[in-house]
Structure formats: C-alpha cells, structure tokens
A and B are shown apart, each in its own frame.
Chain A
Amino acid sequence: MIRARTALVAALLSGFPSPGAAQEPAALPQRARALAETGHLEEAERVARAGGAPLTVVLAEILRLRGRLASAESLFAEAARATLPGYRAAQAALAELSLERGDRAAALRRAGIVSAAYERDGGRWPAEDRTAAGRAYVVLGSDDPQAFRAALRAFDAAVAADPALSEPRIRLGDLFLDKYNAPDARTSYDEALRLAPNHPRALLGLAKLLAFDGSSAATAAARKSLAANPSLVPAHLLLGRLHLDAEEYDSAGAAARRALAVDSAAVSGWALLGAVAWLSGDSAGFARARDAAQRIQAKPVEFFREVAEAVARHRLYADAVRFGQEAVTLDSASPSALGGLGINELRLGRMEEGRAHLERAFARDPYNVWYKNTLDLLDEMRGFRTISTRRFRIVAPAKQSELLALYLGPLLEEAYDSLAARYEYRPTTPIRIELYDRHADFSVRTAGLTGIGALGVSFGNMLAMDSPSAREPGSFNWGSTAWHELTHAFTLGLSAHQVPRWVSEGLSVLEEHRARPGWGAGPSVEFLAAFKAGRLLPVSRLSEGFVRPSHPAELGFSYYEASLVCEMIERDRGRSALVAILKGYRDGLDTPGVLKSVLGMTAAEFDARFFAWLRERFAGPLAAIAPWDGKSPPGGEFVATLRSGRELLEQQRLDEAKAVLQRAAALFPEYAGAGAPELLLARVYLAKGDQRAAAAALSRHTARDESAWDANAEEARLRQAIGDAAGAAAALERMLWISPYQAEMHQRLASLAEQLRDYARALRERRAVVAMGPADPLEARYQLARALAQAGDVAAARREVLHVLETAPGFEKAQALLLELRKPSPEENRR
C-alpha cells in the first residue's frame, strides 16, 4: 500500500502523472496538487474546480498560491465549517492567513482549534491531518515557544504515519531553517527529495540552505527549484535576494515582480521591491511597495522586518534599525521583529538596547539559535573590559585587554589620523572595537552562528575581530586586521554606507599595504596563474567574488584583486580619485556611473584597462607562471625553479641551491607564500655559516609576509647574534602583531630597546610584561619602574617602586632603585 502510494506521488511530482490517474475521482486532489506544485496553477485550478466540494481545500490552496487571499480564505472557512476533505488543513491555513494579516488573536484562536483536537485524538489522525496540526503549532509558536516543540512532534508523527509523504518533511526543514538549525533542515529536505527527487519546495529548501552557507551554488539551486515550479513565489524571492546580495538591483527587482505576478499578495515580494528601491535611492518606489504591503496587511510587520534585513546585508545598519523599529511598533510581540532590531542595534554598538530587544525576542522564541548564541555571548562579554583611548573604545576579555590595548590603542589612533588625511573624512568617535579570544565568539557576534571564516568585521563605527589568541600564531596579523576594519569605518562613512563591498574591501587592503611593509594580501602563484588563465572576475563582476565565490580560492583572489583595482586608480588618478569614487556612491551613483563620472570610462573600458595594467604590473612573474585550471597545482618556470632549489637544498648542494633559489626569487620577487625562495635561501646561508646573509634573506621575506612568525623569530635571533640590535628589535616588533603573548619576547624587546636608548618602546614592553600577569610580578613591576625612570617619568617610577616595596620591603634591587630615584637630579644639585 505504502509502496504504491510512493510511486504515485513520485510520478506526480516528477511531472509524469500516471495516465489513468486523472480520471479517477480519488486521484483528482493529488493531480491538482501536483499541477500546483509544478507551477501549472491555472490548470491546477481548473482541475480543482472540476472536482467540486471534495476539492474545496485543494482549490483554496491553489487560490492562496495565486494571491487570491479573500477567495481562498472564504473557501477554507467553508471547508472547515462543512468538515470537507482536508478541513483540518483548512483550519491551519486560516490560522496562517490570520497571522500573515497581523491578526494574531484570530490566528491563535484558529490554530488552537486544531491543536486542541489533535491533543484529544491526534493519535488516530492520518498523516495529512497531523501535518495540519504541525502547521497550527507553528502558528501557536508565535506566542508560545513551547508550541514549536509540539510542531516538531506533530510533523514527526505525520512522517511516522506515512513515511512516503514529503510535505511534513519539508515543513520540518522549513521550521529548522527558520531557527537557523541548518544540519537538521538539510536532513529533512534530503529525505523529502529521496521520496520526490524533483520536489520544488524541497529543492527550494536546499537552495535556501546553500544561500545560508554563502555558497555560490545557491543561485543554481534556486533556478532548479523554479524549473520544477516556475510559479513558486518563494523561489523567485530567494533568487531576487541573491541578486540583491550581489548588488544586482535590476535583476532583484525583476525577480520580485515575477513573484508578484503569480501572487500579488506576497508581502515578501513587496518587501524585496521596497528594499531594491531603498538601496537604489528610489524613495517613491519604496513608498509604493510599502503602500502595497499595507493594502494586504494593515500592519505589514514582515514588510519592514524583511526590508530591515535586506538593507542590513548592505551594511545600512542605521536604516535597518529604523525599519526594525517600525516593525516592532506594529507588533511589539513579534520575535523576528524584536530579534532583528536587537541584532542591528548591537551592530551599531547600542549594547543595552540591543540586548533588551534580543531578550524579548528570545523569551518568545527560545529555539532561535542566533538569539541564543548572541545572548550567551553578551553574558560572556560581562567579563570583558573596555579601555578607552582618545577616539576608541577597545573591548576585550579582561585578562587580555590591557596587553592588547597597549598596542592597539596607538595603532588605531595612528590609523585614524592617516586615514582621515587620505580620505578627507573623520568618522564620528568614539569608535568601538571588540576583540574575541575565541573565533566562535567573534563568529556569533558577526553572524549569530559559529563557523564564519573572516577575521574581522566592520559595521561602521562598530568593529569586531579575532583577538590574536583566537588563532594559532602565524595564522594572521591582528594589526593589519584592525587597520583593515577601521578603513571600512572611513569608506562606509564617507559613502553613507553606499559603497559596494568590493570597493570597500579593496580600499581596506590597499590601506593595509600602506600601513606597514608586508601588511595585507599579496600576489600568490595561484592568483597570477588564475589571471593568466582568464579566471579572475572582471571588475564589473567583482562583487560576486565576495558575495558568492564560485570556488574556495575566489574570495581571497577577490580581496587582492580589489586592492589592485584601487592601487591602479590611485596610481593613475591620484588619491583624490578614491575619495571622489566614495563620494560618487554616496551621491547615489552605481559602479558604472562612478566609473564614468570619476574615471571617464565605461565598465568595459575599465575592465580592459585594469587587466592590461595587471599584465604590465606582474609581467615578470606572469612570464614564469603557467595558466591554471584551478584543479591541478599551478606550474611554470617559477614553480619548477623553486622546487629544484628546495631539492638541491635538501641534498645539501648548497652552492647550486643558492644559484637556483636566487633565480626563483628574481622570477617572482613579491612571492611570500609557503616555502618562499628567501626562506630557503636563508637556510642555505645558515648552512654555509653566513648569519648576516641569512638575516638579510629573512628580512626580504618578512617585509612581504605579515604573519611570518617563524621567519621573524629566526631573524630576531640572527640579528641579535650579529649585533644588530635595531634589526632584532624590528623583527620582534613585527612578531608582536602576529602574537603578543610571549613574555620572553617582550623582555627581549625591552632589553633591546634599552640598549638602543629607545626608552618609550622599552617602557611599553615592560608594561606589556606586567599586563600579561607574569610568573614573577614583583620583578616585572620593578623593571617597569626602571623603564619609567629611564623614560624620564621619575614620579611614576617612584610610585611604582614604592608599590613593589610595599609588598616586598626586602627586595634589594628595588631598594637600590628607590635610593637612586631619591637622589637629587644634576639640576637640583646645581641649584
């Protein structure tokens, strides 16, 4: 029985109904539904109407899909009253329609009828009715979070009653996805697709999951769903949102209009149109979309909530908060409205308001992983400490805050001055920067979930990033990351948050390059090989590389490529062109418009110019690198020479290795990837006993690789060994920006700085040792007192040494320092 049924459903959903099925009255509902599921809504409606009263619910469902809500509601009501076939689904649909309309009381009352009946004798209900019960519980979940559990149980019970039914599995998937539980959602959709491999809504579920994961495959998956059902409104809307994310406003608007052509009552369609209009600066278009939504729902909560979400994805967080407030004003009990508002307030650094709204959202929706994770994180942040500088608030775990602020404070102040001069713009201060000692916490702060790959994020004047302890030393440079994120505060602010992501990222990397030698991404073999193979995105499509990279390396390529675009513009047209570009976006121009007005080029001309410049800039290395298909490892003369040099080194054929590696270095001087020529050359020189040459080779490498922990450590050792205190100090200074947690490193740098009479740096390093909570705190504070005295702050030195001696009056070195500090100065003696 079950097997036969499975075959029928599968056949229907594959678009191949069995020839005789339509003629049998019992098969009519399935046929009508199958037609509806495959987008043949007119035909479906015709079949349903032909079926008469028994198909009332099916007809109502089809009318609902077509946006004829009043007719649908009236038919659902009739079915519910007359207990026609599927009347429990009709009751559930009536509850859903009430909720969508904003009539929460009616929705809860109608859903309560179904749930009460289910709780009485649901054990005897068929799978379709159990599914209806699950839908009713989902409605009840808007008021009572426990109802979501009941919904899961009801959908599970439906699956148990009829394992061949896709519907409850898809509903389960939707519910899991709504709570950001992607793994369980995936399982449910996969199960549904095993039953019906071409089920449009299950395919749509997978597309949503891919979009959730930021996969470039999401667009294709959404299209596949639409191929199975061209009238599937949520699929059009997903596609539209994907276009919107890629800043393809025209395509996004077109997708919204296609959705609305099927269902003019789809508020989400109007929300997408509204978002497109808002992001395009079309206030009249936005007003039209808002009014249309209002005609459908007296209180269009979802319209404002969805617009808020869309504009937040375009970094317009202040606008997102305003829209979120509108949504909460319309329905102060909506968890999604409250939660969205809270998240965006937190992004603006409005911690208390954000927390309060999230608390309210979580109270109503405790299964929402984003709310839970974020609130857990906020609890954990109670153990954070805020350290203020002139223009920054540095927020970090208490144990690390002093150490990190010691370095970050001056760096950020320097960066602010540098960027303010370059962009002729000063963001409002204070700017808040949060550092997380666990990457998962940073990830939650950024996206509500663990697992995002970024190092930092800028919401404008609110920055967040991994602290250096969040990753292994050598994984990243926390100084360049902070500089990068702060640059966003300038570029977002100057462009009124209208700058496309690729421009903002490109400028941030460009500024990293300008901040310190070696900071920021550099050229890799893969990047140049991909360019040579024509696999780099043209500038006109560079946003795609950020939003939905088509292969894992594309995101990294896009960052570097974007920086090169900015580098070329500055080189050709000067710094003022960069400022003009940002102002162009601020004034509402799109990228082609900006290129035309600032650079006088069409997008195609600019693409051509950029690639020509790239060929010129990397002419040497490009000649030594073979085009890359992205599959096998890249090749070419450089790769072969480097390999040969490494092999010669391993065989201890040092003179030959040296010559070959020098050749490799000459072929691609900027290369600083794994096993770079200069690193191997340093080993050659060391093997030959030439420490000076080894140090020089390492310097050439560390000047290009911002996270070269081992190379810097070795360079510091060698420079100290050859008596180059300044060089050793510089290497240690670079290491601090990779990981500042080694007390021994600070002690060494302090000693070197003292040796170099760089007392300010020595003092900073002594402070760092104290901030780390050393094993010997009194010795550390004694050294700090000494450094203060050397730096000329005798009063502070005296206070410090008194503090030490208060604890340990027998500490002889400190006693001697106290006596020293009490000696009259030469001036006092002269007087």
Chain B
Amino acid sequence: MSGHRRTFGSHLVVAIAACGAFAPASRAQDGGASHVLLVTALSGEPRFAALFHAEAASIYDAAKTRWGVADSSLIYLAEDPAQDPARIRGRATREGIAAALGTLARRAAPGDVVLVMLIGHGSGEGAESRLNLPGPDASAADFSAWLRPLAGRLVVLVNAASASGDFLPVLTGPDRIIITATRSAMERNETAFAEQFTKGLTSEAGDADKDGRVTVLEAFTFARQGVARYYEGKSQLATEHAQLSGDSAVARTIAFGTASAPTDPRIAALYAERRSLENQVDQLRRRKGTMDSTAYEGELERLLLEIATRTAAIRAAEGRKP
C-alpha cells in the first residue's frame, strides 16, 4: 500500500525498507531469489506426525507452485522421509539440518531470502533450548552457528515448536526475522502456532490487506490472532505467546506470493497509475481526521473507483478476470 513492496519475477517478493538492519537497497533492486528449509522434528505421537507433515506439506506446495521457489532451493527434512518421499528430501537429524543450511548458504546470494520453518516439540532453555530431533537434538546455539554462513542474506526463521521462546534472543541479529511460537522456554505445552502460521502464510485469509501477497508480518499477525481465538474457543488460558524479533517494518515488506513484473509498457503504465492512486488513498486516509466526512467519502470513492478502473484495465489487458 505504501509503495514499498515490489515484485521480482516469480521469486519470493522482498522489498527492503530504508531503515533498520536491512540497509542494502541493491539487494531489493537485484531481486533476491528465495530458498526454503522445512523441518518437521520428532513427533512423539502419530497424530503429531500427521499434523506436522500436513503443515510442512502445505508450505512446501505453496513455495513450489505459488512462490516459484526452485526445487534445488526447497528442502524438506522430516522425522520419517518415507512418509512422503515426493516432497521429503531427507531425515530431520542434527546433521541433516546442518547440511541443508550449508547447502542453502552456498546457493543463496546476498539479498536472497531464506525461510527456515521448524515444526515440532522443544525443550531446554537459553542457548541450550532445543528442537527435539531423531538422534541428538539441535540447540539454539547450533542454529546460531549454522546461520552464520548466511550473513548478508535475509533469513526468516520460524521456530513453531513448543518451548521455542529462548531461540529468539540467541538467534536475533542483523538481516534476520526470528519468530517463535512461545515467549519463553517455559511454555512447554503443544502449540497451535504452526497450524495458524501455515494457514496465514498459504491462504488468502492471511493476506490482511488483500493485495494478493502475504507478508511475514501478516502471517505472524494472522497466526497470533488465530492462536488467541483457538484458546478462547476452548475457554482456556493461552499457554503460548508468539513473538517476533527484527524490524517489523521489514517484516511488513517481506511478502510471499506471485506477482510478475509486466513486460508490456501499456500494462506497466497502468500498474504505475494504480500505485500512484493507492498512494493518494494512503495520503487521504492520513487527512481523514481533518476533513469533512462527506468530502472525505466523496474523494475516497473517486480514488477507489479510479483504482478499480485501472485494475479492470490491467486484468483485461492481461486477459484474466479480477
């Protein structure tokens, strides 16, 4: 809406705000490719194994078909690779994760976005907070070491496991958005966050401003509200409180979704006109408190009709319906 978002081919959309840790504007201009690592950890029970896989598979499919992530940059490690050999590339062991992140570090160029999604159960606390894996667990300190080679890339790490809260202070750093399902290692009950975050990331419902793309912040907000609703529906006190570190303005601009840059200059012009009109709506809204309500509504409707007309023209030119 504010015009910060930009699209780059069929890749994960990344636009860098002019503030915070994500300084180098060149990355945005280059258009970073995207890379995804999905880890479903030790399940403990068949129902968790099914749930974890459903969530990971949903993100996997969105990344592959809608976000345009290349197969070589899409790695899914699970407790039992036989569960879904078509999607799962290997076992979710400590070594497997280290190797996968090493692979992505080699593939990712500066400015690229790397999404790491951890789903499972956690334990421990502080730097020794752990994601429970087949074999030795992986600690927050391990991840800290494994992420180091990704410096200069934009890392979005989501630890949706229980007791994940202490990952956040350990992993927080420049060029990183860290999200945990819980606010501390003491919130150890099974979490609803992974399901809600997945839903937010992969469904239209997560797209709060209905611009056709889901940002990290939108998915996070959707998930947090969904978790609150989940506990309210069960008349229970929430036993998990998700948190996000990093620049929220940046989290607001990292978007997942398809949008290709138009090659037809006529269509590109329409896009530009529409962006300009959206900016005018934004400015009008800021003046709302100082304006007569009738005048405000009249001007708002005029601008929105202009935008709608441009969209209709774009869609007509692209040969698809809105």
Contact with A along B236-250 (1 / 0, CB 8 A): 000000000000000
Are B304 and A805 in contact, with the CB atoms below 8 A?
yes
Which residue of chain B has its CB nearest to the CB of A773? B229
Which residue of chain B has its CB nearest to the CB of A820? B308
Are B285 and A822 in contact, with the CB atoms below 8 A?
no
Chain A interface, number of residues (Cβ within 8 angstroms): 23
Which residue of chain A has its CB nearest to the CB of B309? A819
Which residue of chain B has its CB nearest to the CB of A811? B210
Q: Majority SS of interface residues in chain A? A: helix
Are A779 and B212 in contact, with the CB atoms below 8 A?
no
Identify A819's interface contact among B1, B222, B303, B312, CB under 8 A: B312
Are B222 and A775 in contact, with the CB atoms below 8 A?
yes
Which of B75-83, B152-160, B201-209 forms contacts with chain A? B201-209
| Bound-complex Cα distance A741 to B229 (A) | 12
**Given the complex, which residues of B lie within 8 Å of A806, measured CB to CB?**
281, 285, 300, 304
Contact with A along B297-322 (1 / 0, CB 8 A): 10011011101110110010000001
Contact with A along B243-281 (1 / 0, CB 8 A): 000000000000000000000000000000000011001
Are A808 and B300 in contact, with the CB atoms below 8 A?
no
- Tell whether A812 pairs with B311 under 8 Å between CB atoms, given A806-B281, A819-B305: yes
* Interface: A810 (CB within 8 A): yes
Identify A808's interface contact among B209, B233, B309, B312, CB under 8 A: B209
Give, as a whole number of angstroms, the nearest-CB distance from B1 to chain A: 7
| Bound-complex Cα distance A812 to B208 (A) | 13
| Bound-complex Cα distance A773 to B210 (A) | 17
| Bound-complex Cα distance A809 to B299 (A) | 13
Give, as a whole number of angstroms, the nearest-CB distance from A401 to chain B: 16
* Interface: A146 (CB within 8 A): no
Which residue of chain A has its CB nearest to the CB of B213? A810
Are A815 and B322 in contact, with the CB atoms below 8 A?
yes
Identify B1's interface contact among A778, A810, A813, A818, CB under 8 A: A810
| Bound-complex Cα distance A802 to B285 (A) | 12
Give, as a whole number of angstroms, the nearest-CB distance from B187 to chain A: 22
Are A810 and B210 in contact, with the CB atoms below 8 A?
yes
Give, as a whole number of angstroms, the nearest-CB distance from B222 to chain A: 7
| Bound-complex Cα distance A773 to B225 (A) | 10
| Bound-complex Cα distance A822 to B315 (A) | 19
Give, as a whole number of angstroms, the nearest-CB distance from B206 to chain A: 8
Are B322 and A813 in contact, with the CB atoms below 8 A?
yes
Are A778 and B210 in contact, with the CB atoms below 8 A?
yes
Give, as a whole number of angstroms, the nearest-CB distance from B81 to chain A: 33
* Interface: B96 (CB within 8 A): no
Identify A816's interface contact among B1, B204, B210, B308, CB under 8 A: B308
- Tell whether A775 pairs with B226 under 8 Å between CB atoms, given A806-B281, A813-B322, A816-B312: yes
Contact with A along B7-46 (1 / 0, CB 8 A): 0000000000000000000000000000000000000000
| Bound-complex Cα distance A819 to B297 (A) | 16
Q: Which of A798, A815, A816, A822 has the most CB of B within 10 A?
A: A815
Are B210 and A808 in contact, with the CB atoms below 8 A?
yes
Give, as a whole number of angstroms, the nearest-CB distance from B257 to chain A: 12
| Bound-complex Cα distance A816 to B209 (A) | 16
* Interface: B292 (CB within 8 A): no
- Tell whether A815 pairs with B205 under 8 Å between CB atoms, given A802-B301, A805-B304, A809-B1: no
Chain A 776-823 residues near chain B, CB threshold 8 A: 776, 778-779, 798, 802, 805-816, 818-819, 822
Give, as a whole number of angstroms, the nearest-CB distance from B273 to chain A: 13
Are A808 and B311 in contact, with the CB atoms below 8 A?
no
Interface size class of B (residues with CB under 8 A): 20 to 34
Give, as a whole number of angstroms, the nearest-CB distance from B311 to chain A: 5
| Bound-complex Cα distance A819 to B308 (A) | 7
- Tell whether A779 pairs with B301 under 8 Å between CB atoms, given A810-B1, A812-B322: no
Give, as a whole number of angstroms, the nearest-CB distance from B195 to chain A: 12
Identify B208's interface contact among A778, A802, A822, CB under 8 A: A778
| Bound-complex Cα distance A806 to B297 (A) | 10
Are A815 and B209 in contact, with the CB atoms below 8 A?
no
| Bound-complex Cα distance A776 to B222 (A) | 9
Are A810 and B212 in contact, with the CB atoms below 8 A?
yes
Are A811 and B225 in contact, with the CB atoms below 8 A?
no
**Given the complex, which residues of B lie within 8 Å of A812, measured CB to CB?**
210, 212, 311, 315, 322
Q: Which of B199, B210, B301, B307 has the most CB of A within 10 A?
A: B210
Are B301 and A815 in contact, with the CB atoms below 8 A?
no
- Tell whether A815 pairs with B226 under 8 Å between CB atoms, given A776-B205, A778-B208, A802-B300: no
Are B229 and A810 in contact, with the CB atoms below 8 A?
no
Chain B 185-228 residues near chain A, CB threshold 8 A: 199, 204-205, 208-212, 222, 225-226
Identify B204's interface contact among A776, A807, A819, CB under 8 A: A776
| Bound-complex Cα distance A816 to B210 (A) | 13
Give, as a whole number of angstroms, the nearest-CB distance from B7 to chain A: 13
Identify B209's interface contact among A775, A798, A807, A819, CB under 8 A: A807
**Given the complex, which residues of B lie within 8 Å of A811, measured CB to CB?**
209-211
Give, as a whole number of angstroms, the nearest-CB distance from B315 to chain A: 8
**Given the complex, which residues of A lie within 8 Å of B1, measured CB to CB?**
808-810
Contact with A along B41-81 (1 / 0, CB 8 A): 00000000000000000000000000000000000000000
**Given the complex, which residues of B lie within 8 Å of A808, measured CB to CB?**
1, 208-211
Are B307 and A809 in contact, with the CB atoms below 8 A?
yes
| Bound-complex Cα distance A808 to B312 (A) | 16
| Bound-complex Cα distance A811 to B311 (A) | 10
**Given the complex, which residues of A lie within 8 Å of B312, measured CB to CB?**
815-816, 819
Are A818 and B304 in contact, with the CB atoms below 8 A?
yes
**Given the complex, which residues of A lie within 8 Å of B311, measured CB to CB?**
812, 815-816
Are B305 and A822 in contact, with the CB atoms below 8 A?
yes
Are A775 and B322 in contact, with the CB atoms below 8 A?
no
Are A815 and B308 in contact, with the CB atoms below 8 A?
yes
Q: Which of B208, B300, B304, B315 has the most CB of A within 10 A?
A: B304
Give, as a whole number of angstroms, the nearest-CB distance from A776 to chain B: 4
**Given the complex, which residues of A lie within 8 Å of B300, measured CB to CB?**
802, 806
Give, as a whole number of angstroms, the nearest-CB distance from A783 to chain B: 12
Give, as a whole number of angstroms, the nearest-CB distance from B182 to chain A: 21
Are B212 and A809 in contact, with the CB atoms below 8 A?
no
| Bound-complex Cα distance A478 to B204 (A) | 34
Q: Which of B1, B222, B277, B307 has the most CB of A within 10 A?
A: B307
Give, as a whole number of angstroms, the nearest-CB distance from B86 to chain A: 30
Identify A779's interface contact among B204, B229, B307, CB under 8 A: B204
| Bound-complex Cα distance A470 to B193 (A) | 26
| Bound-complex Cα distance A682 to B298 (A) | 58
**Given the complex, which residues of B lie within 8 Å of A816, measured CB to CB?**
308, 311-312, 322
- Tell whether A775 pairs with B307 under 8 Å between CB atoms, given A808-B210, A816-B312: no
Are A809 and B304 in contact, with the CB atoms below 8 A?
yes
| Bound-complex Cα distance A819 to B210 (A) | 17
| Bound-complex Cα distance A807 to B297 (A) | 13
| Bound-complex Cα distance A822 to B209 (A) | 23
| Bound-complex Cα distance A814 to B303 (A) | 14
Are B225 and A775 in contact, with the CB atoms below 8 A?
yes
**Given the complex, which residues of A lie within 8 Å of B315, measured CB to CB?**
812
| Bound-complex Cα distance A815 to B312 (A) | 9
| Bound-complex Cα distance A798 to B210 (A) | 18
| Bound-complex Cα distance A808 to B211 (A) | 7
Identify B205's interface contact among A779, A810, A819, CB under 8 A: A779
Give, as a whole number of angstroms, the nearest-CB distance from B93 to chain A: 35
For this complex, 5 residue pairs linking A to B, each with C-beta atoms less than 8 Å apart, are A810-B1, A813-B322, A816-B311, A819-B309, A822-B305
Known: A775-B229, A805-B307. 14 other contacts (CB 8 A): A773-B229, A775-B199, A776-B204, A776-B205, A778-B208, A778-B210, A802-B297, A808-B208, A809-B303, A810-B212, A812-B212, A815-B311, A818-B304, A818-B308
B interface residues with partner A (beta carbon < 8 Å): 1, 199, 204-205, 208-212, 222, 225-226, 229, 233, 277-278, 281, 285, 297, 300-301, 303-305, 307-309, 311-312, 315, 322
A interface residues with partner B (beta carbon < 8 Å): 741, 773, 775-776, 778-779, 798, 802, 805-816, 818-819, 822
* 8 A-B pairs closest in CB distance: A811-B210, A815-B308, A810-B211, A776-B205, A808-B210, A812-B322, A808-B209, A809-B281
